[in-house]
C-alpha cells in the first residue's frame, strides 16, 4: 500500500480515506512474541478482534428526542478513528420513558435508525467493530441528567408536572403483556 499515490481515485469511495492505513487503528504491524497481550487478537465465538482495547458504554447526555446528534457523531467517530477495536455506544433506550433522562440516546422509532446508521457506517469504514447497549431504566427513569453539581430530580414541565411518567414501579396490566 506504500506506493499508492494520494491522488489515486480508482478505489471505491468507502476505501479512499484508508489508502495509507490498511489495518484498523491499534493493530500491530509486525507482532512478535514480545508484543503485549493487549495488542494481540481476541476471538469471541465468530468475532475476531485484532487487539483488545474496547470502549465501555458511556452515556453522554447529548441526544435530542433520542436522536444521535452531530456532537455524538463527532465524539464516537473520533474515538473510532483513534483506537478501540470494539466500541459500545452508550445505553440506548428501547422506549421513550425507558430513558434515564430526556437526553439519552434512543432506539424506539424508525426515525432513530438514520443517525445510528451513520456512525455504524463510519465504524465499518474504519474496520472497527461497534456494539450498542440497549436498555430500559425501569423505575429510575425520567430523571434530569446526573451532572456535577446537580441533584437527582425528576424532569418536570413548567407547571410542575412530571414528564415521561416512569417515576415509580408500576404493576403491568395484562394488556401490557399480551398484545
Ligand atoms: C461518563 C460515564 C458514563 C457511563 N455510562 C454508562 C452507560 O451508559 N452504561 C453502562 O452500562 N455503564 C456506563 N458507565 C460505566 C462504564 O461503562 C464502565 O463500566 C465504568 O466506567 C467502569 O469501567 P471499567 O469496568 O473498565 O473499570 C459510564 C461511566 C462513565 C464514566
Under 8 Å between Cβ of 130 and 119: yes
111-119 contacts at long range (C-beta below 8 A, 24 or more positions apart): 111/67, 112/66, 112/67, 112/68, 115/67, 115/68, 115/69, 115/73, 116/68, 116/89, 118/68, 118/73, 119/68, 119/72, 119/73, 119/76, 119/77, 119/80, 119/89
Q: Which of 114, 92, 110 is nearest to 101 (CA)?
A: 92
Tell me whether residue 7 is in a domain: no
Residue 139 has pLDDT above 60, yes or no: yes
What's the 58 CA to ligand 1 centre distance in angstroms?
Answer: 5
Total domains, the chain:
1
Q: State mean pLDDT over 47-64.
A: 95
Residue 16 lies in a domain: no
| 170 has pLDDT over 50 | yes
Q: Tell me the residue range of the domain where 95 lies.
A: 51-144+153-177
Residue 9 has pLDDT above 90, yes or no: no
For residues 71 and 133, the answer to whether their CB atoms sit within 8 Å is no
Nine-digit cell at 130? Answer: 461497534
Averaged pLDDT for residues 98-118: 94
Using the predicted structure, report yes or no on whether residue 4 has a pLDDT greater than 60. no
Q: In a 10 Å sphere around its CB, with 0-12 CB exposed, 13-18 middle and 19+ buried, how is residue 52 labelled?
A: middle
18 is a domain residue = no
- In this structure, is residue 20 part of a structural domain? no
Which pLDDT value is given to residue 77?
96
Q: Is residue 40 part of a domain?
A: no
Residue 62 lies in a domain: yes
**Probe residue for ligand 1, chosen from 53, 55, 58 as the CB with the greatest number of ligand atoms within 8 Å:** 58
Mean of the pLDDT values across residues 28-47?
93
As a whole number of angstroms, the longest Cα–Cα distance in the chain is 66
**Residue 109 belongs to some domain of the structure:** yes
Which pLDDT score is estimated for 164?
A: 62
pLDDT band at residue 89 under the 50/70/90 scheme: very high
Ligand 1 atom nearest 135 alpha carbon: 9
Q: pTM value?
A: 0.79
Residue 82: the pLDDT is: 87
Of 141 and 13, the structure prediction assigns the larger pLDDT to: 141
Residue 100 covered by a domain = yes
Q: What is the per-residue pLDDT across 56-67, written as a single tens digit (0 to 9) for each?
A: 999 999 999 999
Per-residue model confidence (pLDDT) at position 2: 43
| 30 vs 111 pLDDT, higher one | 111
Mutate to test the pocket of ligand 1, among 59, 89, 131 (most ligand atoms within 8 A of CB): 59
Q: How confident is the model at residue 171 (pLDDT cuts 50, 70, 90)?
A: low
Amino acid at each position: 500500500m506504500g506506493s499508492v499515490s494520494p491522488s489515486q481515485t480508482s478505489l471505491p469511495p468507502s476505501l479512499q480515506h484508508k489508502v495509507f492505513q490498511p489495518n484498523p487503528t491499534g493493530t500491530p504491524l509486525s507482532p512478535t512474541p514480545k508484543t503485549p497481550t493487549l495488542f494481540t487478537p481476541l476471538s469471541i465465538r465468530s468475532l475476531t478482534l485484532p487487539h483488545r482495547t474496547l470502549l465501555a458504554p458511556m452515556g453522554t447526555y447529548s441526544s435530542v428526542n433520542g436522536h444521535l446528534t452531530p456532537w455524538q457523531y463527532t465524539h464516537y467517530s473520533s474515538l473510532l478513528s483513534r483506537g478501540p477495536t470494539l466500541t459500545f455506544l452508550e445505553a440506548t433506550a428501547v422506549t421513550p420513558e425507558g430513558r434515564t433522562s430526556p437526553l439519552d440516546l434512543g432506539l424506539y422509532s424508525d426515525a432513530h435508525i438514520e443517525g445510528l446508521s451513520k456512525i455504524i457506517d463510519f465504524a465499518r469504514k474504519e474496520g472497527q467493530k461497534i456494539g450498542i447497549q440497549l436498555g430500559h431504566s425501569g423505575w429510575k427513569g425520567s430523571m434530569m441528567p446526573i451532572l456535577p453539581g446537580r441533584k437527582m430530580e425528576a424532569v418536570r414541565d413548567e407547571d410542575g408536572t412530571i414528564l415521561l411518567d416512569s417515576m415509580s414501579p408500576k404493576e403491568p396490566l395484562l394488556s401490557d403483556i399480551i398484545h
